[in-house]
Structure 1
Amino acid sequence: MRVLLSWPIRLFKAYRQSIAYLPSVLAVAYGLLGLSALLLPISNEHLPTPVTALGLEAPGNTRSLLAALLGGMISLMVFSFSMVMSVLSQAGGQFSHKLVFGLISERPHQWVLGHYLGTILFILMLLIVPDVASGETAWRSLAIYLACAMVVHCLGLFVYFIHNASESIQIDAVASGLHRTTLAALRVLQERQRDAAWRFLPTVVPTGHPRHVVHARRAGYLQNADLPALAKLAAQGDGIVHLHFRFGDYVVEGLPILSLEAETPPGETWCDEVRATLTYVEGESITEHHVYGLTQLMEVAIKALSPGVNDPGTARLCIHRLTDLLARQLQWQPSNTLLDQSGTRRVTWPLERFDDLLYRLFHPILHYGRQDVSIGLGLLKALKTLSLFAKGEDLETLQAHAERVIETLARTAHHPLDRRFIASRLTAGTHRLDLPLQLPTPEGQARGRGGERTQ
């Protein structure tokens, strides 16, 4: 059953996430409103006197007015979205190109497009049926007044659209949007894993049963999976499902993506049911996998550090957002095992280690910003902040990254003024890292060590 429903569900999800979703819904709503204006037989006798007093003597003679409104709406829509293309081309040059589709598919932009299309459709329907019965002039006059009100409403939306589109490419809005979306996805994941059935097991003990491999039937990004449904399928097979991929990985057709640890091999129907629980999404969906929000912030930072943009302030702003998100990640341990009601392991999946994630995020920024002292100091401050939330191996990882940042700063700063400026900030602030009091000499000799300090 799940296999039969998987294709319609995927199609609906793709439609739900596309830019055409809200515009098509609003266009249908406007179309139904236009049909009610044309088909409902409401005579003047059934309308209040104030309404009939506003009726036009010959509503059929307003075709020139409706044609002018229609032409104005088409011009307004063309101008609005030609401006969007210009804004997005500028955003693609300044930020990561992955953000371009996200900017144009924002819900406010879809609402505006939907109202534009709906207004055009409503006016077109009035133009197609110009004839009005002699006793229904008031009702058609109300429809014409409504068309004029819709155009005025769209003019107001046009002003809002210009304001929102110009603000959407500001770096504060871009970074805040990525931070907000990533934080929301992280909180959804945390809420989902609050149940006692979700556990983190550092080591997975094999049961001794053979593992039966299931291969992928299609290529794409495996962003997520219906883990509770997988647990039920594992219980049907009286075994444990082990995922061989990390969420967000790109898999190719024929790749072993999971295995069932059970005594009896699964049937082909069971394998199809398991594949139907997997979520493929083209591109990077932050709502499906929150780590994409972190990597996109990193990509915006390194784009800002490119010679063509040369905006270290944007990179530092992204580092601040990354610091907040990584601090929240350190305070929460994600699950890698799902149990059934009896406490039996049913599904396991690999997690990305914190040291791997930190390296993926901070190393590119340090590499592209190694000549900028402010970037090095920004990364060092971020590592100091994260050390207050880290324990054990995570703290050792932060210590190793801090030593690498200091080594990069020592190779960059040769003038005594630069070294004195950096040295005054090495151990400043509250942290739990073991940092030198001075920058290492070119020969690599440290001047001493400083412990925890409060600025």
Structure 2
Amino acid sequence: MIRWIQQPLMWVRAYTTSIAYLPSLLATLYITLGLLSVLPAGLLDPSSLPGSDLLKALTFKEHDTPRTLLAALVGGLISLMVFSFTMVMSVLTQAGAQFSHKLLLGLVTERHHQLVLGHYLGSLLFLLINLMVPNEGDAPTLWRSLAVYLGVLMMVNCLGMFIYFIHQASQSVQINAVARRLAGRTRASLSRLRERNRGNGYSDREVTRNDDHCQLLRARRRGYVQQVDFAALRALAIEHDMVVHLDFALGAFIVSGMPLMRIEWPNGLPQDLPQGSSAGDELDEAQQAELIKKLRAALGYLDGESVDDLHEHGLTQLMEVAIKALSPGINDPGTARLCLHQLTELLSERMLLPSCNCCVDDQKRVRVSWAMESFDSLLYRSISPILHYGRNDLSICLALLELLKTLSLLGAEPGHIALLQQHADKVVDAILAQADFEIDQRFIEQSLKAGHHQLSLPSTPW
């Protein structure tokens, strides 16, 4: 039952996060207006309404006039749409070449882009409906005449949306906007993780596992597992008096047949759950199958990296944008430094984040456990590639050293300071390797002394 409920929810989420979400809603609204505008004639009599003289003047006298106007509006709107989305492809090509192809989906699915597309499509459908449905009588009615004027207003609105679209498209590919948007999504993901870890039932402790009492559940599909319903797994573990050990790291790519999770029972059975073994003396085959379905349904598969679900992907993408900017073909160290500034704030939040690697019941017994990437690993993956590609650029090395200095002021544990010191030693070695002249040595010495920090840096390295 859970699987049948979860699948429609996944479809709804895919629809609401796709580029077709807002355009389809707006198009439906415009189609409704178009159908109302071609209602049978006689709904409005100009002589019975206030300002009848003005309304009579607005009513078209010939059939060909509104049709010609509508045809001109349709042709102009199609040309406007072609030009707009040619510009979209140009913007996406530029963004993919300069930053990272992982960012393209986020640029396409932005709400303001969807709004523009929805107004374009809706206005075109409204005009086509009025153009295709013939007028009745010798001359257009007031109702149909007002519909044509409404179509003109829609075209004016599309012109305004076109100007708005040009502004937003040009702003969306600037590195400041790209880095700010990516950092904002990562920060929101960190905030959700922080709130989750503060809730009851989550803990950080050393988890032991007796493999002799574990049964293996293997994956049946491929994809990136980035969403796990820990509350559902915890409830199942409590209900059946078992412990669920996830065999993968969140965000890892899972292939079919790969070990997915291990179910630890008090009296452990050696067979694997998918092969139809007993999951306990109290469970029959139907109950076993239902339990397996519920365990699998708690995992959410995606086809790509989702920053909204895992903050690690946001840090990785910022790192990739930085090293892409340091490539010889682009050679833009300013973009790399901007990414390092965003990484400084995000890593500081991650360093202070209380970690959780298990769910516990009311008696504080572990019910669900998983592997969580340590801050040590995340810091290394975030800054080591940047140092590798930018070690010959003094500005990049100094920016990395500034990042480590800032983190040292926020480090709440002695282990953090020791870790940051090891990275600082690598960065300092890269900096000293560039001190070929006296002026370089003087500048580097001043930079090493600058700022407040808790690192041990050489004050006079010469």
Does TM, scored on the shorter chain, surpass 0.5? Answer: yes
Quick check: 1:431 aligned with 2:456? no
Bigger Cα displacement from structure 2, 337-346 vs 247-256: 337-346
Bigger Cα displacement from structure 2, 266-275 vs 291-300: 266-275
**Count of residues in correspondence between the two structures:** 439
3-state SS of 1:186 partner? helix
Counterpart contact for 1:63–1:130, Cα < 8 Å: no
Aligned counterpart, 1:165: 169
Counterpart contact for 2:62–2:139, Cα < 8 Å: no
Aligned counterpart, 1:421: 443
3-state SS of 1:244 partner? strand
Counterpart contact for 2:63–2:139, Cα < 8 Å: no
Alignment of 1:433-448 (within 5 A): 433-439=455-461
Counterpart contact for 1:59–1:140, Cα < 8 Å: no
Counterpart contact for 1:413–1:419, Cα < 8 Å: yes
Aligned counterpart, 2:240: 237
3-state SS of 2:113 partner? helix
Quick check: 1:397 aligned with 2:400? no
| Distance in 2, Cα, partners of 1:83 & 1:222 | 35
Aligned counterpart, 1:139: 143
Classify 1:130/1:58 alpha carbon distance in 2 versus 1 (closer, same or farther; 3 Å): farther
3-state SS of 2:433 partner? helix
Per-residue CA distance 1:106-147 (angstroms, 9 max, x = gap): 111011001100111111111121224689822222221111
| Distance in 1, Cα, partners of 2:355 & 2:31 | 47
The runs of 5 or more residues in structure 1 that have no matched partner are: 442-455
| Equivalent residue in structure 2 for 1:192, among 186, 193, 196 | 196
Deviation at 1:392, TM superposition (A): 2.4
| Distance in 2, Cα, partners of 1:73 & 1:356 | 53
| Equivalent residue in structure 1 for 2:329, among 308, 312, 315 | 308
| Distance in 1, Cα, partners of 2:11 & 2:77 | 32
Classify 1:54/1:216 alpha carbon distance in 2 versus 1 (closer, same or farther; 3 Å): farther
Counterpart contact for 1:241–1:261, Cα < 8 Å: yes
The runs of 5 or more residues in structure 2 that have no matched partner are: 269-277, 280-287
**Equivalent position amino acid for 1:80 in 2:** S
Alignment of 1:102-121 (within 5 A): 102-121=106-125
| Distance in 1, Cα, partners of 2:154 & 2:31 | 13
Aligned counterpart, 2:38: 38
Aligned counterpart, 1:326: 347
Deviation at 1:237, TM superposition (A): 2.2
**Equivalent position amino acid for 1:415 in 2:** F
Q: TM-score, length-normalised on structure 2?
A: 0.90
| Distance in 2, Cα, partners of 1:357 & 1:54 | 71
Per-residue CA distance 1:52-101 (angstroms, 9 max, x = gap): 44641447431111111011111101100101111211121111121122
| Distance in 2, Cα, partners of 1:338 & 1:156 | 53
Deviation at 1:27, TM superposition (A): 1.0
Q: TM-score, length-normalised on structure 1?
A: 0.91
| Distance in 2, Cα, partners of 1:139 & 1:350 | 66
Per-residue CA distance 1:186-205 (angstroms, 9 max, x = gap): 1122223321222222x114
- State, as a whole percentage, how many aligned pairs show the same letter: 48
| Distance in 2, Cα, partners of 1:199 & 1:59 | 77
Per-residue CA distance 1:312-349 (angstroms, 9 max, x = gap): 11111110000001111112213222234554432221
Deviation at 1:413, TM superposition (A): 2.4
| Distance in 2, Cα, partners of 1:256 & 1:360 | 25
3-state SS of 1:10 partner? helix
Counterpart contact for 1:44–1:135, Cα < 8 Å: no
Alignment of 1:203-218 (within 5 A): 203-206=206-209, 210-218=213-221
| Distance in 1, Cα, partners of 2:324 & 2:107 | 17
Alignment of 1:57-72 (within 5 A): 57-58=60-61, 60-61=63-64, 62-72=66-76
| Equivalent residue in structure 2 for 1:123, among 113, 123, 127 | 127
Classify 1:410/1:150 alpha carbon distance in 2 versus 1 (closer, same or farther; 3 Å): same
| Distance in 1, Cα, partners of 2:407 & 2:76 | 55
Bigger Cα displacement from structure 2, 93-102 vs 313-322: 93-102
Tell me how large the CA RMSD over aligned residues is: 2.1
Bigger Cα displacement from structure 2, 335-344 vs 422-431: 335-344
| Distance in 2, Cα, partners of 1:393 & 1:424 | 28
**Equivalent position amino acid for 1:241 in 2:** V
Counterpart contact for 1:95–1:300, Cα < 8 Å: yes
| Distance in 2, Cα, partners of 1:160 & 1:278 | 40
**Equivalent position amino acid for 2:157 in 1:** H
